[in-house]
Amino acid sequence: MGDVNDRVLGRSGIRVSEIGLGCWAIGGPYRRGEKQIGWGAVDDRESTRALREAVELGVTLFDTADAYGCGHSEEVLGNALRGDRHRVAIATKFGTVFDAGTRQVLGCDVTPAALRRSCERSLARLRTDYVDLYLLHWDVGLDEARRVLDVLEDLVTEGKIRAYGWSTDSIEGARVFAEGPRCCAIELRLNLVAGDRGLLELCERQGLAAICRSPLAMGMLAGTIDERSRFPADDIRSSWDLANGARAGELARARRALAVLREDGRTPAQGALAWLLATSPATIPVPGFRTAAQVRENVAAAERPLPAARLADLTRAPAAPS
């Protein structure tokens, strides 16, 4: 067992490793209409090896969604963690309607009946009788969000889930969900090139965990992507124009950060994760992975805290989120 430090999952009191794992990529290819929203082909055996190694290294938070691979990520995770369910916390997300056979996302449904169906199906795929953290996965209106809160509170009372939250970048939405007694987390986009510090500050004020999705900016902060990079057709990044498109600015900001991230012997990915950990005690990054080697690299970020001088350099840099 590794020695990864713990953080508290907001108001829930659930202790989890300060670095979790995001399981989007291991879901494999899937689409919304003609748009690819997966990360390409995966090897389930390697995914399982990576998950098993993560447990042995001390990772105790695994973040997935029913949408990832149209159920496939949950199935792989459930099989891999079957013997260690008592040692880990599982976060999954709801709200997506999909066809598992065609790997097509069809839309969103967060009505009470649909929410309950989603929960039962996720429990079956994950091979468990409860989920530690259940996250709304879609941006919905605030009135609808309040109705969702009522159902989530019932699911906590029934023992189906332990706590809940919202994967959103909406401060207004996060503020509404924070009214829920058993809300404990907001999953937000936060990294060195993008993110809203105001949303992080709201989490801190409300006592919520700030689970940081895309902590490596979809690979840009790993130091392996440049303007010439091309991705397979079944990879969500295949449509990126890194020379002139909307992502070009993020790539430029990432490049400015990389020089600092590489100092002190860290890999860029380790530096980016260490920055998130140093930014706030509320943050819990959940980097994605495809291989056991990536898991080892990411988990090792927790072993070398970012010195105050490096944190200041990165936070002052133009790369830092607003």
The model's pLDDT over 258-315, given as tens digits with 9 standing for 90+, comes to: 888 888 889 999 999 999 999 999 999 999 999 999 999 999 999 988 888 888 888 7
User: At 188, is the secondary structure helix, strand, or coil?
Assistant: strand
Q: What is the pLDDT of residue 26?
A: 98
Residues 6 or more apart whose CB falls under 8 angstroms from that of 42 comprise 25, 26, 27, 28, 290
Q: Answer yes or no: is pLDDT of 18 > 90.
A: yes
User: At 126, is the secondary structure helix, strand, or coil?
Assistant: helix
Question: Of all residues in the chain, what percent carry a pLDDT higher than 90?
Answer: 88
pLDDT tens digits, 217-257 = 999 999 999 999 999 999 999 999 999 988 999 999 999 89
Strands, E assignment, 55-99 = 61-63, 89-94, 96-99
Residue 26 CA to residue 229 CA, distance in Å, equals 21
Token pair, residue 290, equals 């495809």
Question: Of all residues in the chain, what percent carry a pLDDT higher than 70?
Answer: 97
Q: What is the pLDDT of residue 124?
A: 98
pLDDT tens digits, 124-149 = 999 999 999 999 999 999 999 999 99
Q: Answer yes or no: is pLDDT of 174 > 60.
A: yes
Q: What is the pLDDT of residue 320?
A: 54
Domain residue ranges in the chain: 6-216+280-304
Mean pLDDT of the chain: 94
Token pair, residue 233, equals 């057709």
Q: What is the pLDDT of residue 251?
A: 93
The residues facing 99 across adjacent strands are 104
Q: Answer yes or no: is pLDDT of 3 > 70.
A: no
pLDDT tens digits, 41-70 = 999 999 999 999 999 999 999 999 999 999
Place of tokens 């902590």: 215
pLDDT tens digits, 60-98 = 999 999 999 999 999 999 999 999 999 999 999 999 999
Give the sign of the dihedral formed by CA 164, CA 179, CA 214, CA 216: negative
Q: What is the fold of 6-216+280-304?
A: TIM Barrel (3.20.20)
Widest CA span in the chain:
52
109: pLDDT confidence band, cut at 50, 70 and 90? very high
Residue 281 CA to residue 207 CA, distance in Å, equals 10
Q: What is the pLDDT of residue 1?
A: 42
Residue 193 CA to residue 216 CA, distance in Å, equals 9
How long a stretch of residues is the chain?
A: 322
Q: What is the pLDDT of residue 202?
A: 98
The residues facing 133 across adjacent strands are 91, 163
Q: What is the pLDDT of residue 321?
A: 57
Residue 218 CA to residue 244 CA, distance in Å, equals 18
Give the residue from 155, 214, 152 showing the smallest Cα distance to 178.
Answer: 152
